[in-house]
Structure 1
Amino acid sequence: MSSGIEWLDWVKRIQAIAQTGLTYSKDVYDLERYEELRALSIEILENYTNVGMDKIKLHFGSETGYATPKVDIRGVVFQEGKILLVREKADNAWALPGGWADIGYSPSEVVVKEIEEESGFITTSKRILAVLDKKFHDHPPEQYHVYKIFIHCEIVSGDPKGGLETLEVGFFDRKEIPTLSLERNTPNQIQTMFQFLDDPQKAVIVD
Structure 2
Amino acid sequence: MGKLYIIPTPIGNLEDITLRAIRILKEVDYILAENPRASSVLLKKYDIETKLFPYHQHNEHKTVKGLVEKLKAGFDFALISDAGTPAISDPGFLIVRECLTNNIEVECLPGATAFVPALVNSGLPNARFFFEGFLLHKKGRQTRLKILADYEQTLVFYESPYRLVKTLEQFIEYFGEDRKICVSRELTKIHEENIRGSIVEVLEYFKTKTVKGEIVIIVEGNEKAPKLVETPNLGVSTNLGVSTYTYNYPMSAICADIALIVKNSILSKTKILLIKRKNDPFKDMWALPGGFMDIGETLDNTAIRELKEETSIDNVIVNRFKIYDTIGRDPRGRTISMIYIGFVKENEVNAKANDDAKEVKWFLINKLPKLAFDHAQIIKDIKKEIVCL
TM-score (norm: length of structure 2): 0.35
8 A contact 1:86–1:167 mirrored in 2: yes
CA distance in 2, matches of 1:134, 1:118: 24
Structure 2 Cα separation of the partners of residues 153 and 84 of structure 1: 10
- Indicate whether 1:115 and 2:307 are aligned: yes
Larger RCO (alpha carbons 8 Å, 6+ apart) = 1
Where does residue 94 of structure 2 map in the other structure? none
CA spacing shift, 1:193–1:118, aligned 2, 3 Å: same
Q: Which of the numbers 60, 71, 89 marks the counterpart of 2:254?
A: 71
Deviations 1:10-48 (A, max 9, x none): xxxxxxxxxxxxxxxxxxxxxx98x52225xx39x89xx
Shift in Å, 1:194? 1.7
Q: When the two structures are aligned, how many residues end up with a matched partner?
A: 155
Whose helix proportion is higher, 1 or 2? 1
Q: Where do residues 47-62 of structure 1 align in structure 2 (5 Å cutoff)?
A: 53-54=157-158
Mean Cα displacement is larger for which, 156-165 or 82-91?
156-165
In structure 2, do the counterparts of structure 1 residues 129 and 70 end up closer, same or farther at CA, with 3 Å as the change threshold?
A: same
The letter of the residue matching 2:257 is R
Deviations 1:45-73 (A, max 9, x none): 89xxxxx9426x99xx9797514311011
What is the one-letter code of the residue matched to 1:127?
N
Judging changes above 3 Å, is the alpha-carbon distance between structure 1 residues 88 and 62 closer, same or farther for their aligned structure 2 residues?
farther
Q: Which amino acid aligns with 1:36?
A: A
Between the aligned partners of 1:178 and 1:132, the Cα distance in structure 2 is 21
Q: Structure 2: how far apart are the matches of 1:70 and 1:122?
A: 24
Distance 1:151 1:169, change over 3 A: same
**Matched-pair contact (CA < 8 Å) for 1:134–1:148:** no
Residue 158 of structure 2: SS of its match in structure 1?
helix
Q: Is 1:150 the counterpart of 2:325 in the alignment?
A: no
Separation in structure 2 between the aligned mates of residue 38 and residue 83 of structure 1, nearest angstrom: 43
Distance 1:188 1:151 in 2: 14
Paired residue for 1:124? 316
C-alpha distance after superposition, 1:90-148 (max 9, x if no partner): 10111111100112221111111111111121143442111111317xx3544x22111
**Counterpart residue type for residue 305 of structure 2:** K
Separation in structure 2 between the aligned mates of residue 73 and residue 149 of structure 1, nearest angstrom: 5
Counterpart contact for 2:271–2:364, Cα < 8 Å: yes
Larger radius of gyration: 2
Which structure 2 residues correspond to residues 10-89 of structure 1 after superposition, within 5 A? 36-38=127-129, 42=131, 53-54=157-158, 65-66=246-247, 67=249, 68-80=251-263, 81-89=270-278
- Closer/same/farther in 2, CA of residues 141 and 62 from structure 1, 3 Å limit: farther
> Aligned runs of 1:132-147 on 2, under 5 Å?
132-135=324-327, 139=329, 141-142=331-332, 144-147=333-336
Structure 1 stretches lacking a partner, 5+ long: 6-31, 47-51, 201-207
Residue aligned with 2:369, SS: coil
Instruction: Name 1:193's counterpart in structure 2.
Output: 382
Q: Is the 8 A contact 2:257 2:291 kept in 1?
A: yes
Q: Which residue of 2 aligns with 1:165?
A: 356
Q: TM-score, normalised by structure 1?
A: 0.62
Q: Which runs of 4+ in 1 moved over 6 A?
A: 61-64
Whether the 8 Å contact between 1:101 and 1:110 is mirrored in structure 2 is yes
Q: Deviations over 1:159-191 (max 9, x none)?
A: 111102112111212221112122xx4311221
Kindly tell me: are residues 172 and 37 of structure 1, through their superposed partners in 2, closer, same or farther at Cα, counting changes over 3 Å? same
The amino acid that maps onto 1:77 is: L
Conserved in 2, the CA contact under 8 Å of 1:82 and 1:174?
yes
Q: Cα–Cα, structure 1 residues 127 and 109, in superposed 2: closer, same or farther, change >3 Å?
A: same
- 8 Å CA contact 1:85–1:169 kept in 2: the answer is yes
**What is the identity, as a one-letter code, of the residue corresponding to 1:37?**
R
- For 1:117, the aligned partner's letter is E
CA RMSD for the aligned pairs? 3.4
